[in-house]
Structure 1
Amino acid sequence: MRDFLYSEIANFYGVPNIPDDPDLAIETCSRLCEEVLEPLNDTFGRISIFSGYRSPDVNQTGNENKLRCASNEANYAGHIFDYRDGDGCKGATVSVVIPWFADRYEQGEDWRAMAWWIHDHLPYSDMCFFPKLAAFNISWHERPKREIYSFIDPKGFLVRERDEEGEKDHGEWYRDFPSLKQPPC
Structure 2
Amino acid sequence: MKIIRKTIAPSLLLLMLVLCGTVNAGERIAILSFELNDITSLPNTQTERVRTASIKTLLEQDINRVGDYDIIQISPDQQQAENAGFGYLFRFHDVAAKLGKKYGADWIIVGQHSKPSFLYSYLMAHVINIKTGRLVARYDVELKGNHQKVTQRGVRKLSREINKVIIKLGNGG
Tell me which interval the TM-score lies in, with the shorter structure as reference length.
Answer: 0.3 to 0.5
> TM-score under structure 2 normalisation?
0.33
Tell me which protein shows more strand as a share of its residues. 2
If asked which structure has higher relative contact order (CA below 8 Å, sep 6+), I would say 2
Tell me which protein shows more helix as a share of its residues. 2
Bigger-Rg structure (1/2)? 2
